[in-house]
Structure 1
Amino acid sequence: RLCMSAAASAASQTFGMDRGLTNSLSEVPFTKCIILAGTNIAECQPTIMPYFEKAKQNGAYIIAVDPRETATTKMADLHLKVKPGMDAALANGLLKVIIEEDFTDEAFIRERANGYNEVKEYVTSLKLEEIAEMTGVPSDQIQKAAAMFGKEESGMIFTARGVEQQTDGSATVRNFLNILIVTGKIGKVNSGYGAITGQGNGQGAREHGQKADQLPGYRMIENEEHRLHIARIWGIDEADLPRKGVSAYEMIEKINEGEITGMFLMCSNPIVSNPNANFVKKALKKLKFLVAVDMFVSETARLADLILPTSSYLEDEGTMTNLEGRVTLREASFSLPGEVKHDWQIICDIAKALGKGEHFSFQSAKEIFEELRVASRGGTADYYGITYDRLRKEGGILWPCPSIDHKGTKRLFETSFAHQDGKAAMVVVNNVPLVPKEQPCTDFPLYLTTGRIMSHYLTGVQTRKSSSLSARNFESFMEIHPETAKKYHIPDNTLVKIESRRGSIVVRSKWSATIRHDTIFVPFHWADSQNVNHLVSQDLDPTCKMPGFKVSAVKVHPIVELTSN
């Protein structure tokens, strides 16, 4: 809910299914034009950066959408320095130019898409000058980006948290998918969509039920046919399956209201990772019982009544599914130390203690995967044809893979989309989102946006314990344009207080001439008095329940006012 839900919901609604990449990574170096929307690959996912560098070497034209200049935007041919929160409107500007300048693929639209006429009617009614003013991107840059993407024979669009972690993140991604559809750049060689995943198994997790409305194989918990299928495999009565639950932040609200009184927390640190973090901490303290399963005593685990030590990366065995949908097998390198257990063993032991051990009688990760193969069979994310033996021989297999002799699916949607009628579903995305975003005002005059840096990972529970990584960034910081800093009397490299309507933090200033004048940036890896999520609103995307991490209104001032003699 805090990472992939916007992209997953958008792809499911548009294409009928969601896989991180519709193509394999091997096609990226050969595409002719790439749009990187809200993704800083060079610093956040550097292991896939060579694919994009190779594309650049091969002559691809790269367009980056980001309020900041980053190591990724420096690679781009065109940097659209968008105002925070205005990505959907920018996509409308690109669509307007593509349609009015006749860069569309009319045959593809006619044969393989629904909703085009409504989208065309809306975007052609807009004025490009007004979009330029709304987004902060000059109209000539919008025209150039649209023309470069529209006229090339192949193209790919990649999105990440920059456009997804907003209260209209799902709709924004859908609008970028509209661009792919009108240009016919989907389901073809070297053309498609990619949601850049921030975690090694982020794709696999969301395929197999780690959202409160899902069941394994991308089956849905409210679908009666899906419920019966899974109930049969699990050997339970369908009526014993729960109904749809609530999202991550909504769980915190229900804890605060007293509706949830106990929590089992596995390798998560919501006190740092969730928005409105002060409220989250107060709510978790109301729990009658909190169990934390983790390798470290995180900020949240400090509140736990019981901490269960779990295994590390090198001690684990099991499958992972990467951002392109490739299932791989990772063998364990070390045995378990002391009383440490694997996550799956802890779950099985708890099930046994609760009197449900017969449903959790697994003796290995492989046995669990064998059940998953059967449970996913016939579903959207079909793993049935994937086995440990095949993974050891072949190295990795892209799903869907419905049978043992199936080679896996390298490219989705070549002949049809996954909706019942085989067509993609375009949708009108309004310039003004349903959930209003905070705007700068007299009291809070600046935009705050957040993100990652190379040396740290997620809430920093692991990386902040590494002396070498901490030496690179031992404290949080605020990027601010020098002219903006001077306006608010903030010297470079000094402690500064940042305040929003929800709280305040203290970080060190870092002048950057490459960020927008109206925007500051703070990374999210630090806790306590440097936890930027103290400042972020609890407002959620109505479609996918993603918090709006990327847009907050704040004010800044130095801790110590400097005076001249």
Structure 2
Amino acid sequence: MPATATHCPYCALQCGITLTPERRGMRLEPSDFPVNKGGLCAKGWTAAELLDHRDRLLTPLVRKTPGDRSSPLREAGWDEALELISRRIKSSQQAYGPDSVGAFGGGGLTNEKAYTLGKFVRVALRSSAIDYNGRFCMSSAATAANRSFGVDRGLPFPLEDIARARTVLLVGANPADAMPPAMQYLDAGRANGARHIVVDPRRTATAAGSYRHLQPLPGTDLALANGLTHIAVREGLLDSDFIRDRTTGFEAVRAATASYWPDRVERMTGVSADHLRETVRMLATERPAMILTARGAEQHSNGTDTAQAWLNLALALGLVGRDASGYGTITGQGNGQGGREHGQKADQLPGYRRLDDPAARAHVAAVWGIDPDELPRPGLSAYEMLDRLGTDGGVRVLLVLASNIVVSAPHANHVTNRLNALDFLVVSDIFLSETAALADVVLPTSQFAEEDGTMTNLEGRVLRRRKAVEPPPEVRTDLEVMKALADRLGRGRFFSDDPRAVFAELRRASAGGIADYAGISWERIEAEEGVFWPCPAEDHPGTPRLFTDGFPTADGRAKFHRVEHRDPAEMPDRAYPYVLTTGRNMQQYQSGNQTRRVSSLTVALPEARAELHPDLARRHGIGDSDLVELRTRRGRAVFRARLNPGIRPDTIFAPFHWVGANLLTDPALDPHSRMPAFKACAVAIAPVPEGTT
């Protein structure tokens, strides 16, 4: 049987794989794609096991007693399920208005599905109520990049450039666990003499392989970055020509960082003044050099300003726009880049256009064949929308596509209560996730190998997802579901369920925008192993490297922004004396709805384990593998303890792949990006006697 070249369904690397049907199941092998070059992680190797998994949803489910969430789910036909959904949409909007119905999307949706979801909410529902789980992932770095560079593309250069950098500063990133195939680029750099510095409160696998590991207190990365800029000013390490010729606003940053002298920053962060000086000297003199941030720096109530501080440092040193050099942020979710470009964010239209921009509204409305005045205004961000579910003026009927909010949202007990307060909840997924288990209607959707479409990886490389096998008979694609619902709502003429036709429309809608896909066709993607946006015309080569000649800002210059450290929204005190931070484990992905069902992955890591320093453990009489209770102002959760001498003694780490960590996290929002503060809140710990849970 023929093999199909496609891509792994997990992280934003989107590693190349081939799938070959066999008598029993699918054979999955890595391909020599430019991103992974034959590499694959444990999650990728096992991805095909999901296709015929015993837990797979194979038919729509509805409540046996309509309106009673305590009643069991039963199998139903598609006509019954879709008719029930459309009827509840119509009755809610009739009673409470268009914005009483909304949608919550996922960062794993193809470009075609993310684009159609944004269009569906605004054209079929005529609602402003839409956002997606990327608001919990990339939004702070995206906001900082947009306001400085005029564009947000996570990595403005290909991964291969990382291997050619002499100095790499990784801030809050652990690719060794989160995306292992990317480590080949860091390994290649080190083999050629590069030195890497990792900023992380834990001594992760990535930090263990670095030249220098800096361990700041969670929530102090902005002070650390400002302290490095202070040293660059003081020691004459600035690139004055670059600042003069290609940027604006540096004097305000110079003034702001004047008070971040090394000894003060050492007291604030816990990083020694000597290591601060060494770090900035390496970035300034051992070129090419780059600064890469990830969620550890960004998932804070001041995450945008923190990302901005690192971006300011890269500009001050003249790193940006030069060969194998610059600033980038590492996108996490499979289509986290493409998913935030084409309209499933509350304030966005396709092509990274702003929904409140009259010219953008006119362009997209013309492509969609509607009057610009029909488009709603920007809606609420993800957590703000979830916080108001079921209330007067909030969403009362919610459609969730490819997102497990019960596990992934902060202050998860509260969010679960809000989901239960809805008049009607619809979830489309491949398995009965914790969120789907709360739904009035559950819709079975196709998987990665059962659909065609495109994805955009962390480099801005647009890729082809190819169908290798037909979905089960009663499983439909999300495009088919949205088209069928639009038909029932009297708006079907605006929609297609053909992914190729949808991508052709996406190209027209994005044309002239920041994320311009106009020159990218499925044929080009296949011939060129992906095409980098922006690509405004079919004869344009695409743009692997941004900023070499200028910035897409009004004056063509990058903009510095003055930022100041402020404490996390919640600081340790006597009742909650430690800092809780969250993150990933190698064997699991996102909410674990997929990976927790793969036997080899669960054998390797069967349960959530909270990491704490042995000194902290001794203080509380806790041994390795003991049960512990973590408690914050929002809830309690029980974990197995893992003693780790590589974590700060004042910090506890909990993975977010199971129900637990996000029962504890702080929903305090960044004022610019509306990102919740996943990475720092106050926590208490206590041992739990065996048999008492």
Is residue 581–residue 653 contact of structure 2 (8 Å, CA) maintained in 1? Answer: yes
**More moved, 193-202 vs 38-47:** 193-202
Which of residues 97, 101, 116 in structure 1 aligns to 2:235? 101
Matched, 1:203 2:337: yes
Per the alignment, residue 278 of structure 2 pairs with: 144
Paired amino acid for 2:467 = A
Distance in 2 (alpha carbons) for counterparts of 1:411 and 1:501: 45
SS of 1:104's partner is coil
Per the alignment, residue 637 of structure 2 pairs with: 505
Distance in 1 (alpha carbons) for counterparts of 2:330 and 2:371: 38
Shift of 1:193: 2.0
State how 1:227-376 maps to structure 2 within 5 Å: 227-258=361-392, 259-360=394-495, 362-376=496-510
State how 1:515-534 maps to structure 2 within 5 Å: 515-527=647-659, 531-534=660-663
Distance in 2 (alpha carbons) for counterparts of 1:349 and 1:192: 46
Per the alignment, residue 450 of structure 1 pairs with: 582
Shift of 1:560: 2.0
Paired amino acid for 2:203 = E
Distance in 2 (alpha carbons) for counterparts of 1:57 and 1:256: 56
Distance in 1 (alpha carbons) for counterparts of 2:418 and 2:178: 31
Is residue 14–residue 425 contact of structure 1 (8 Å, CA) maintained in 2? Answer: yes
Q: Label 1:561 to 1:301 Cα distance change in 2 as closer, same or farther (>3 A).
A: closer
Shift of 1:482: 0.6
Distance in 2 (alpha carbons) for counterparts of 1:266 and 1:537: 24
Per the alignment, residue 113 of structure 1 pairs with: 247
Distance in 2 (alpha carbons) for counterparts of 1:522 and 1:253: 24
Is residue 85–residue 437 contact of structure 1 (8 Å, CA) maintained in 2? Answer: no
State how 1:180-195 maps to structure 2 within 5 Å: 180-195=314-329
Which of residues 555, 559, 571 in structure 2 aligns to 1:439? 571
Is residue 223–residue 260 contact of structure 2 (8 Å, CA) maintained in 1? Answer: no
Paired amino acid for 2:491 = K
Shift of 1:256: 4.8
Shift of 1:399: 0.6
Is residue 576–residue 632 contact of structure 2 (8 Å, CA) maintained in 1? Answer: yes
Shift of 1:153: 2.7
SS of 2:251's partner is helix
Paired amino acid for 2:442 = I
State how 1:218-233 maps to structure 2 within 5 Å: 218-233=352-367
- What are the Cα deviations for residues 384-424 of structure 1, in whole angstroms up to 9, with x where unaligned? 11111111211111111111111111111112111101111
Distance in 1 (alpha carbons) for counterparts of 2:184 and 2:498: 36
SS of 2:589's partner is coil
Which of residues 204, 218, 225 in structure 2 aligns to 1:84? 218
Shift of 1:176: 0.4
Is residue 266–residue 293 contact of structure 1 (8 Å, CA) maintained in 2? Answer: yes
Is residue 480–residue 515 contact of structure 1 (8 Å, CA) maintained in 2? Answer: yes
Distance in 2 (alpha carbons) for counterparts of 1:561 and 1:465: 26
Distance in 2 (alpha carbons) for counterparts of 1:181 and 1:233: 38
Shift of 1:127: 2.5
Shift of 1:98: 1.2
Structure 1 alignment gaps of length 5 or more: none
Which TM-score applies when normalising by structure 1? 0.97
Which of residues 535, 547, 564 in structure 2 aligns to 1:430? 564
Shift of 1:28: 1.3
Per the alignment, residue 123 of structure 1 pairs with: 257
Is residue 496–residue 557 contact of structure 1 (8 Å, CA) maintained in 2? Answer: yes
Paired amino acid for 1:535 = L
Paired amino acid for 2:470 = S
Which of residues 513, 517, 526 in structure 2 aligns to 1:379? 513
Distance in 2 (alpha carbons) for counterparts of 1:213 and 1:325: 21
State how 1:21-170 maps to structure 2 within 5 Å: 21-170=155-304
Is residue 337–residue 457 contact of structure 2 (8 Å, CA) maintained in 1? Answer: yes
Shift of 1:561: 9.2
Shift of 1:437: 2.3
Which of residues 541, 554, 560 in structure 1 aligns to 2:670? 541
Paired amino acid for 2:333 = Q
Paired amino acid for 1:507 = F
SS of 1:217's partner is coil
Distance in 2 (alpha carbons) for counterparts of 1:256 and 1:473: 37
Paired amino acid for 1:503 = G
**More moved, 300-309 vs 146-155:** 146-155
Paired amino acid for 2:330 = I
Per the alignment, residue 470 of structure 1 pairs with: 602
Is residue 231–residue 261 contact of structure 2 (8 Å, CA) maintained in 1? Answer: no
Per the alignment, residue 66 of structure 2 pairs with: none
Shift of 1:380: 0.5
Distance in 2 (alpha carbons) for counterparts of 1:256 and 1:89: 40
- What are the Cα deviations for residues 328-383 of structure 1, in whole angstroms up to 9, with x where unaligned? 112100012121111111111111111100001x2421100000111111111111
Distance in 2 (alpha carbons) for counterparts of 1:95 and 1:256: 47
**More moved, 143-152 vs 227-236:** 143-152
Aligned residues: 556
SS of 1:350's partner is helix
Distance in 2 (alpha carbons) for counterparts of 1:455 and 1:335: 28
Per the alignment, residue 592 of structure 2 pairs with: 460
Per the alignment, residue 552 of structure 1 pairs with: 681
SS of 1:442's partner is coil
Question: Percent identity, aligned pairs only?
Answer: 45
SS of 1:67's partner is coil
Structure 2 alignment gaps of length 5 or more: 1-134
Paired amino acid for 1:313 = F
Paired amino acid for 2:669 = L
Which of residues 488, 491, 494 in structure 1 aligns to 2:626? 494
Distance in 1 (alpha carbons) for counterparts of 2:469 and 2:384: 38
Which TM-score applies when normalising by structure 2? 0.79
Per the alignment, residue 10 of structure 2 pairs with: none
Distance in 2 (alpha carbons) for counterparts of 1:432 and 1:281: 30
Paired amino acid for 1:536 = T
Distance in 2 (alpha carbons) for counterparts of 1:67 and 1:125: 24
- What are the Cα deviations for residues 430-489 of structure 1, in whole angstroms up to 9, with x where unaligned? 0225xx421111111111100000000001111111111111111111111111101111
Per the alignment, residue 612 of structure 2 pairs with: 480
Paired amino acid for 1:285 = N
Per the alignment, residue 73 of structure 2 pairs with: none
Paired amino acid for 1:39 = A
Is residue 446–residue 520 contact of structure 1 (8 Å, CA) maintained in 2? Answer: yes
Distance in 2 (alpha carbons) for counterparts of 1:334 and 1:535: 41
Paired amino acid for 1:277 = A
Distance in 1 (alpha carbons) for counterparts of 2:690 and 2:543: 61
SS of 2:254's partner is helix
Is residue 398–residue 422 contact of structure 2 (8 Å, CA) maintained in 1? Answer: yes
Distance in 2 (alpha carbons) for counterparts of 1:67 and 1:177: 21
